Amino acid sequence: MNVIDGTDLTTSHDDDFDVVVVGSGPAGAAAARTLARSGARVAVVEEGPWVEPGDFPADGFSAMSKLYRDMGASVMMGRPPMPVLQGRVVGGTSVVNGAISWRLPKDVYDEWVRADPALDDALGWHRIEEALDEVESDLSIGPTDPTISGANNALLAKGADALQLAHRPIRRNVARCRGLGRCLQGCPQGRKMSMDQSYLPEACDQGAVIFSSTRVEQVEVRSQRATGVVAHAAGGGRVRLGAHTAVVMAASAIQTPALLIRSGINHGPVGDHLQCHPGVSVAGRFGEPVRIWCGATQGHEVIGLRSEGLKFEALGYDLPIAAMRLKSIGERFRDELSTLDRWCQWGAALRAEGAGRVRPAGTRTRVRFALTDGDMVKLRRAVQVLGEMLLAAGAEVVTPGVFGWHERVRDADTMASFGKGGPLDPRAYTLAATHLFGTCRMGSDPRRSVVGPDFGHHRIRGLYVADSSVFPSNIGVNPQSSIIAFARLCGERVLAAS
């Protein structure tokens, strides 16, 4: 690939392109591929390094240090504070996620259109569906192969059956997956169709250039038009990349609004309306080995409560992180380590009603988010169902991990009582924030949105936003495929306007 390593840029570097894309994850890669295939000269600027699959660390903590933003310890402040997991590597979060691939739900799209009918006129459900078809074909998306699924995923199916909840193998963007359980550390064999193994090489084959280990610090604007970016390379050099046609922001729903505000581009609700999918997990110990570090990292899901804003997934971790999540200390922790191969971890993602905001704070970014009372009822329901499924699948003991409630549960009646008797104080729960949306949301009204239905900024010509910050709300399911489809549409709009 055409990769310029920012660690080698020790002096000033200036260049000009037709389009500069900020970010190399699903949105940036998809936009860059669409633009480069049309003949545009494209630069992709990525803060993280280029890493070959064979160099992905085997253990989770080393992977977090090398491939994640802030070692996976970025925090969304609120009650409770939640870590935010984002990749910081060429290919973005697609390198370190579970490869889960959902289509945009039609009911979510209909919500958006009811609130702003102009979105349907500009986007069109049929075009989104066509784009999603193309994404699924490009990335070999299909159900998890049962031969590599592993015991963790099979037990989730068993528990869902017992509770009569609809479930299915997860559709994933993989090619000949061998079930190594390494998705969250980066697939060492390049079998996950992450952006570093798919769209970015294609874009480079068409002439695109990737600047790795290079942090964009400012979007340049002259006469109300985006003209390029100024960046700082890891080697110390100043990098200035001109953009004759457009600058496309694809740095995530946190980094994109922060960079726009730092650049003085603060029109509209930029950085506001942050939404996400808070995630909670519950563990259970079985009588036989499960080995959650083997098989598809996330190969099965329960979709029977999606109408309630809940989706459940099997979670796979390497040994150190699996041990950390036992949530015990001292002699109990020692004893549980001896049975580590018998523990399962399952999680639930909430389509939360809560909202937050993103603001730059010096060279860092301050993120706040608040759960609603309704979210807390939904969260309590999620923990109840997770525990019930574990027990129904045969777990000997369940650890809900909720402060102030039973540390260990062994019977279904006690677990069922959590649905009404469990705490509603957010501080009782350990959550993580995934799937971020809405901070540069799309809309026809410039007073209530940052970009128009054509992905173009309402005030700054030649400035586009392609990532999930344009989504009017969260979508309740894993957004990667939808992000890619929208970024392709964004690329087409850039070409149409040029």
**pLDDT-derived band at 393, boundaries 50, 70, 90:** very high
Query: Is the same domain home to 380 and 459?
Result: no
Same domain membership, residue 411 and residue 314: yes
Overall number of domains in the chain: 2
What is the C-alpha to C-alpha distance for residues 96 and 185, in angstroms, rounded to an integer?
6
Shared-domain flag, residues 132 and 160: no
407 and 453: one domain? no
| Residue 232 tokens, joined | 């700082």
Among 167, 232, 435, 457, the one annotated catalytic: 435
Q: Do 356 and 242 share a structural domain?
A: no
- CATH number of the domain to which 37 belongs: 3.50.50.60
Residue of 426, 387, 388 lying closest to 278 (CA atoms)? 426
Residue 411 pLDDT greater than 90, yes or no: yes
Are 453 and 426 in a shared domain? no
Identify the pLDDT of residue 103.
Answer: 98
Residue at a domain's end among 379, 406, 433:
433
435 is catalytic: yes
Mean local confidence (pLDDT), 464-486:
98
In sequence order, what E strands does 351-408 have? 355-361, 364-370, 397-399
pTM here is 0.96
Look at 67 and 321; give whichever has higher pLDDT. 67
Parallel/antiparallel/unpaired status of strands 209-212 and 225-233:
unpaired
**Mean pLDDT over all residues of the chain?**
96
Give the separation between CA 68 and CA 60, rounded to whole angstroms. 10
- Which pair of tokens denotes residue 372? 């609603």
pLDDT digits (tens, 9 = 90+) for 135-182: 999 999 999 999 999 999 999 999 999 999 999 999 999 999 999 999
Q: Which domain holds residue 310?
A: 143-182+274-433
Residue 332, domain CATH: 3.30.560.10
- CA dist 106 and 100 (Å) reads 18
What's the CA gap between 369 and 359, in Å, rounded? 12
Who's near 330: CB < 8 A, 6+ residues apart? Answer: none
Buried-exposed string 300-332: b where 16+ CB fall within 10 A, e elsewhere: bbbbbbbeebbbbbbbbbbbebbeebbeeeeee
Structure confidence at residue 319 (pLDDT): 83
Spatial distance between the Cα atoms of 211 and 152, rounded to a whole number of angstroms: 39
At residue 90 the predicted structure's pLDDT band, cuts being 50, 70 and 90, is: very high
Asked which of 433, 452, 475 is the last residue of a domain, the reply is 433
What digits encode the pLDDT tens for the residues 434-455?
999 999 999 999 999 999 999 9
Q: Cα 453 vs. chain centroid, distance in angstroms?
A: 23
Residue 360 shares a structural domain with residue 372: yes
Is residue 73 within 8 A of residue 83, CB to CB? The reply is yes
Gap between the Cα atoms of 424 and 399, Å rounded: 18
Those residues whose C-beta lies under 8 Å from the C-beta of residue 96, and which sit 6 or more positions away, are: 63, 67, 68, 85, 87, 89, 183, 184, 185, 186
Residue for token digits 């055409």?
2
> Of 433, 466, 485, which one is at a domain's C-terminal end?
433
The encoded tokens of residue 58 equal 């085997």
- Confidence band, pLDDT 50/70/90 cuts, at residue 337: confident
pLDDT at 157: 98
> Looking at the structure, do residues 418 and 308 belong to the same domain, yes or no?
yes
Distance set, CA 331 to CA 287, 400, 401, 409 (Å): 20, 20, 18, 19
Q: Which of 62-66, 83-87, 328-332 has the lowest mean pLDDT?
A: 328-332
One domain for residues 124 and 155: no
Q: Helix crossing, 151-162 with 373-392: angle to 10°?
A: 100
Could you tell me if 92 and 118 lie in one domain?
yes
Q: What does the pLDDT average to over 254-270?
A: 97
Nearest to 94 by CA among 397, 480, 413, 496: 480
Q: Are residues 261 and 367 in the same domain?
A: no
Q: pLDDT band at 335, cuts 50/70/90?
A: confident
* pLDDT the model gives residue 277: 97
- Closest by CA to 211, choosing from 492, 13, 484, is 13
CB of 104 within 8 A of CB of 485? yes
Collapsing DSSP to helix, strand or coil, 13 comes out as strand
Q: Which residue has the higher pLDDT, 408 or 333?
A: 408
pLDDT of residue 304 exceeding 80: yes
* Of residues 261, 321, 255, the one with CA closest to residue 96: 321
Report the Cα–Cα distance between both ends of the chain, in Å, rounded: 26
Single-letter amino acid, residue 365: T
Same domain, 329 and 464: no
How far is it, in rounded angstroms, from Cα 258 to Cα 323?
35
DSSP H helical ranges for 163-216? 199-205
